[in-house]
Structure 1
Amino acid sequence: MKNLKDVKIMLVDDEPHIIQFLELGLMNEGFEIRTASDGINAVNLALDFQPQVVVLDVMMPGMDGWEVCRLLKKNLNNVAIIMLTAKDEVEDRVKGLTTGADDYVVKPFSFEELLARIGARLRNQFPALFSEVSFGPFRLDDRRKEIQYQDRVLELSPTEYELLKYLVINHGIVLSKSTILDQVWGYDFGGEENIVEVYIRSLREKLNDKDHRLIRTLRGAGYRVDLP
């Protein structure tokens, strides 16, 4: 990842050991970090600090993470918010998305997973930080809305482009159909989840992925891109 010195991340959690753990790890990755332990201080700090990414705990005393998320999305021009939730329930995911959250991570989580999701949000929402981004045999150029695979430009529809970009950026992470629908089609999409299967099938054909070695199906869990 490039230009990390230009990337500001704010951590908001009322558990000191989580803040210390994440702050140390992310500073070692080169990010500029600020921290807050409650919602009110988080909002005031964010207005001054202007972070690109906020890692935000849901359950906090006083102002909870949902309200902080709503206020940050209202008052900051462009910010990616990753919610930390203690439970993986559909209601929490929907509530987070409707208040403006961009992604969520369920506790307990690995630092590597959070780092991958931060990188994914930066590439999605701040493409100016990256000209062309390469992942194994893929090269993504978001300004041209173009994806090359093994030096071959893929002929993709706008939705196929967004889906493949999301899968590749999140390579190594299992993505459920509902998560893919939320991130690619939008949380207010009223269609069936099977639309994901249709588009995955089309991408596999264009990638010549007959054996499903590139885009893997994990039965009952979702899809995962495995890069060579």
Structure 2
Amino acid sequence: MRLLLVEDEPELNEIIAKRLKKEHYGVDQCFDGEEAWDYIEFTEYDAIILDIMLPKIDGIELMKRIRSQKKDTPVIMLTAKDSTEDRVKGLDSGADDYLIKPFAFDELLARIRVLLRRHTGQTSNTMTLADLVLDTDKKTVKRGEQAIILSSKEYAILEYMMHNQGIVLSRDKIEQHIWNYDYVGGSNIVDVYIRYLRVKIDKDAPRKLIHTVRGMGYVMREDHD
């Protein structure tokens, strides 16, 4: 798998590139938008990691150019700005995902894996985590041999979290995905639904799958808190 990394901070660029190479990805490194566009025009990449704040051509403009050329390469945008307006701007320009600096490298890896699975069509009608199985065709959920009955919103949240296993999802991001961008955040509605899901999925299970990451959000994974 070949990735393009576009990050103007030399030290961060080198750190990310080295870690990606250790994971056996091929990595081309660029430090400004103009250089990146030259690479993109003549090279096919499996995914692009793109900083928003770039010299010469910024990330938003570069993203628009990529999509205007009908290139469907998955793109993760890196941003130091944690605001809904900036996230919407990045996604509206054509990015598939975004990550706010500073971030954990393992989360970047998880997001890359998710995008690559989507892009290469490695999809299935079932998603599995430990003994939890979600069938996206039948809209059913089982934990071991036990069927779990969920409301439509509970199911939607669980499916979103299962699709992003290992990725910490903030309350705002869950709200935006489930209730769309018109939904006014700031309530505890996500916490309420997570509590419902925990009762139905984790209460009687020896291994908990829904985890709270303090100050950040929620994540689906096998390990314990």
Q: TM-score over 0.5 for the alignment?
A: yes
The aligned amino acid for 2:34 is I
Aligned to 2:94: 100
Superposition pairs for residues 34-113 of structure 1, below 5 Å? 34-113=28-107
Q: Which has the larger radius of gyration?
A: 2
Superposition pairs for residues 60-209 of structure 1, below 5 Å? 60-123=54-117, 125-126=118-119, 128-129=121-122, 134-138=128-132, 149-150=143-144, 162-186=156-180, 188-190=181-183, 196-197=190-191, 199-201=193-195, 203-204=197-198, 206-207=200-201, 209=203
Shift of 1:57: 0.9
Task: Measure, in 1, the Cα distance between the counterparts of 2:69 and 2:155.
Answer: 30
Task: Measure, in 1, the Cα distance between the counterparts of 2:213 and 2:65.
Answer: 37
Task: Measure, in 1, the Cα distance between the counterparts of 2:208 and 2:78.
Answer: 31
- 203-212 or 163-172: bigger deviation: 203-212
The aligned amino acid for 1:222 is G
- 130-139 or 10-19: bigger deviation: 130-139
Shift of 1:69: 1.6
Q: TM-score by structure 1 length?
A: 0.73
Change (3 A) 1:224 1:133: closer
Q: 1:137, 1:227 within 8 Å by CA — same for their partners in 2?
A: no
Alignment RMSD (CA, Å): 3.5
3-state SS, counterpart of residue 5 of structure 2? strand
The aligned amino acid for 2:121 is A
Aligned to 2:209: 214
Task: Measure, in 1, the Cα distance between the counterparts of 2:99 and 2:9.
Answer: 16
1:224 aligns with 2:219: yes
Give unpaired runs (5+ residues) of structure 1.
1-6
Equivalent pairs: percent with the same residue? 38
Change (3 A) 1:92 1:22: same
Aligned to 1:4: none
3-state SS, counterpart of residue 95 of structure 1? helix
The aligned amino acid for 2:119 is F
Shift of 1:58: 1.2
Shift of 1:85: 1.5
Shift of 1:148: 5.4
1:10 aligns with 2:39: no
Change (3 A) 1:181 1:80: farther
Q: 1:9, 1:33 within 8 Å by CA — same for their partners in 2?
A: yes
- 110-119 or 82-91: bigger deviation: 82-91
Give unpaired runs (5+ residues) of structure 2.
none
The aligned amino acid for 2:50 is L
